[in-house]
Amino acid sequence: MVDTIKVTLVKSGIGRNQKIRRTLKGLGLTKLHKTVELKNTPSIRGMIDKVAFLVRID
């Protein structure tokens, strides 16, 4: 199993509800096309699932 997951923001959080914007901020995704490397934990995967329509997973 991979220790880290690379996540890139491909769609903006503008116009989305507060919960989704806070999830993006919690993942460290603050600007378009920003890529972050996160630990592969159940909580991080759950956050990614909530915003899957805005991000790309590498």
Q: What is the helix (H) or strand (E) element at residue 20, kind and residue range?
A: helix 18-27
CATH number at residue 47: 3.30.1390.20
Q: In 1-58, which ranges are E strands?
A: 4-9, 35-39, 55-57
Q: Which of the residues in the chain have pLDDT under 70?
A: 1
Which of 43, 3, 57 has the alpha carbon at shortest distance from 29? 57
Which pLDDT score is estimated for 34?
97
Task: Count structural domains, the chain.
Answer: 1
Q: How far apart are CA 18 and CA 41, in angstroms?
A: 23
Q: How far apart are CA 29 and CA 13, in angstroms?
A: 10
Length of the chain equals: 58
Which pLDDT score is estimated for 46?
97
Which pLDDT score is estimated for 1?
61
> What domain range is 19 assigned to?
4-57
